[in-house]
Structures are given as structure tokens and as C-alpha cells.
Structure 1
Amino acid sequence: MLTGAHLLAFMGVVLLAAMSPGPDFVIVTRHAAISGKRAGMAAGLGIAGGVFVWALVAALGVASLLAASAIAYTVVKLIGAAYLAYLGVKALIGAWRRGERVQLDARLPPARPLVAFRQGLITNLLNPKCAVFFVALMPQFLPGTPTLTDTLMLSAVTVLITITWFTVLANLVGLLKTFFTSPKVRKAMDTVTGTILIAFGLKIATD
């Protein structure tokens, strides 16, 4: 059975992992800065959904197969890299077309939170490093003969911490939405985040 000390240690590791800069961080920051905190939180919920899937399949041993298979790992890695590059190129094209004026289609449409959720979910699910992370992490905190309750508890804790962190991040960045949606700042934001997403895609593909 899980002890309080093990659970606290696990929470600390997961929080540090969630806070580390990466594609998830960029996706949430971009949506919160440009479309507001609701879109940012939706992206965070999508990421949390992906984290739950990885935590669950890792606990069930499925993710270890992916981590052990060079072909499967490479396929997921390249698809994930291509998706990040696609999001980055899309942001860059938006920046170049936008020029010095804010277009009507740059404003938040009703479906934007759903789009943000989908991007967060796909970005996380197509990151094979998440599988490797949980394969290495989960067994360190589970008892020698873990029960289904132990597995679900760690998975739930992982999702809760992820949601909490990205909700805080989205709200902090969302407070500056007016600043980020000014024409010049929006163009710079799209250019910077687009470049970073492409860089992450290249890094994942060549790692």
C-alpha cells in the first residue's frame, strides 16, 4: 500500500516535470496569451487527459512495450514531431499574414477552447518521452505488489497536479491577454511560439 511519504515524493516529481519547459508549456502559454485563460485552461485539460492515458498505460505495462520497441517509439516520435512542426508553421504563417493589424479571425471563436483542448491532448499523446518518463517513474513509487487502487491513485494524482499547474499558468498569462493581443505583440508572440514549436519538433525528431 502507498505510504504518505511515497505519495508526497511522487507529487513533487510530477510537479517539477509539469513545470519544466516543453511543448505542453508552450501550447498552454500561447493559447492563454492569445485567446484568454479559458483557452489556456482547456489546453491544460487536454494535456492532463494525455498524462492520464500515459500514466494508466504505464501502470498497466503497455507503455513499457513502446519504450522497448525502437520502431514503435520512432513512429510515435516522428508523428509527434510533425504535429509540433505543423502547429509551429501555422503560427508563423498567421504572424506573417497578420502584419500590423488585428484581423477579425484572430479573435476567440466559440469553439476555440475545444481546439485548444484537442491540441493539448494530441501534443501530449504524441510525445513518446511521456511513456518513457512514466515507465521509469511509476514503478519507483508503487508497492512491490501494487493494487488497482494504488495505480489509479498515482494516475489521479498525476492528472490533478497537471491540471492545477496549467490552470495557474493559464490564469497568470491570461491576465496579460490585452497586452498579448496588441498587433505588434501578437505578431511577435506567434513568431516566437511558432519557432519554438518547430524547434521542439526538430529536437524530438532528431533526439
Structure 2
Amino acid sequence: MSSMAQVAAFGGIVLLGAMSPGPDFAVVVRRSALSGRLHGMSAATGTAVGVFVWVVAAATGIAAVLAASAVAFTVVKVVGAAYLFYLGARALISALRTGGGFALDAAGPARRGAGAAFVEGLLTNVLNPKAALFFVALVPQFVSSGASAGETLVLSVIALAGTVAWFLLVANVVGTLRKVFARPAVRRVVDGLTGAALIGLGIKLAAATRP
């Protein structure tokens, strides 16, 4: 990878991948809608760091090992699906409560909530083996097997910047409408829809197979 055209192409592909509806998007939207802009931005940052991790893993061959190993792929898949089920179940339970609030945020100060949102975004991305497959297929097209640490870092930073820019935009747009989402009926709808979406995505992940 040496030309600006290749850099731009890589960044564009990663950005399109980030914009595709998935668990990352669901987590950022829910956090932004129900917990506020700060928590949504924290979840967005966690997701972007997860993408950074996968690019580094793909460039260094770690992700390829995961993709090639049936056992490793299955372990990450099962853990990731279970985590999405957990998030979805929490959202559905929250939807059934009066007011539809998010218990984690109500139980502690904003700092703890923002930290938990970051971890949510990070784990949702890192525990998705489909992300490994995506970057294993993408990264070798832009760096050779003997790529320097500098080239790997450039790709990783580009992926981080593009992903965080998109999800920060989502978090800020949704967070701006928080007064609407603050209504109990709307909060319950958001919790119900995102909870069902996360569980559905968890089922889809659990059924995923290596190509």
C-alpha cells in the first residue's frame, strides 16, 4: 500500500462496511437514544477501537488463524452470539419495565455508564468473527504479507477514523432527538425494537459458518 488512491479506497470500503446495519449500529443507536449523546459517542468509540483491533489482527495474520480454525471461529462465534443475546434480553426486559429506562445507567454515575457503553461497543465488534472474515479478505488487498509496522498502523488508523466518524455522526444525530426518546412509550419501543434486532443478529451469528 503506497498510493493515496489505495488509502482512499481502503477507507471507503471500511466506511461502507460500518454503515451497513448490524449489531454495532444497533448498540450505538440504543445508547444514544436512551442514555444520551455522551454514552452513544462512547459506544461509537468502542466500536471503532474494535475495528482497529481487527485491522491489526488481519495485517499480522492473527485474524487469518481465527478464520482458518474451526474451533477458534466457533468459540468466538458462540461467545459473540451469547453477548448479543444478553444485550437483546436486557433491552427487552427494560422495554417491559415502566418507563423503559436503561438500568445500567440509572444505577451509577454518568462516567460508569459511558465506560460501560464503550465496552459494549468494543465487545460487540471484537466478538464478531464475521468482522475477522471481512478484514481477512480486505486487508491483504492493500498490504503485502511482509508489510511494515508503519503500513499496518496507517491502515488501522484509517479504519479507526472512518468508523468513529460514522458512528459519532449517528450518536450525535440520535442524541439530538433524545427529548423524543425520553418519552416512556418511545423508550419502550426503542428498547423493544433494538432488543429484538440484537437477538435476531445473535441468532444469525450463531448460525454463521466459515466460507
State the TM bucket, normalised to the shorter chain: over 0.9
The runs of 5 or more residues in structure 1 that have no matched partner are none
Task: Answer with 59-68 or 101-110: which moved more.
Answer: 101-110
Q: 2:6 — aligned with what?
A: 6
Q: 2:38 — aligned with what?
A: 38
Q: CA deviation at 1:148?
A: 1.5
Q: CA deviation at 1:51?
A: 1.0
User: Aligned partners of 1:12, 1:162: CA distance in 2, in Å?
Assistant: 10
Superposed, 1:142-157 pairs within 5 Å as 142-143=143-144, 145-157=146-158
Q: TM-score, normalised by structure 2?
A: 0.92
| Deviation per residue, 1:138-181 (Å, 9 max, x gap) | 01012574222111100110001111111111000001101011
Quote the RMSD (CA, aligned, Å). Answer: 1.6
Instruction: Check the 8 A contact 2:94/2:102 in 1, yes or no.
Output: no
SS of 2:97 mapped into structure 1 = helix
Instruction: Check the 8 A contact 2:77/2:128 in 1, yes or no.
Output: yes
Superposed, 1:142-181 pairs within 5 Å as 142-143=143-144, 145-181=146-182
Paired letter, 2:89: V
Q: 2:96 — aligned with what?
A: 96
Instruction: Check the 8 A contact 1:15/1:161 in 2, yes or no.
Output: yes
Paired letter, 1:114: G
Instruction: Check the 8 A contact 1:2/1:143 in 2, yes or no.
Output: no
Paired letter, 1:33: A
| Deviation per residue, 1:184-206 (Å, 9 max, x gap) | 00011110000000000000001
SS of 1:116 mapped into structure 2 = helix
Q: Given the alignment of the two structures, is residue 117 of structure 1 paired with residue 118 of structure 2, yes or no?
A: yes
Instruction: Check the 8 A contact 2:94/2:101 in 1, yes or no.
Output: no
Paired letter, 2:127: L
Instruction: Check the 8 A contact 1:59/1:151 in 2, yes or no.
Output: yes
Paired letter, 1:128: P
The runs of 5 or more residues in structure 2 that have no matched partner are none
User: How many residues matched?
Assistant: 205
Among the aligned pairs, what percent are the same residue?
50
Distance 1:129 1:102, change over 3 A: closer
Q: CA deviation at 1:10?
A: 0.6
Q: TM-score, normalised by structure 1?
A: 0.94
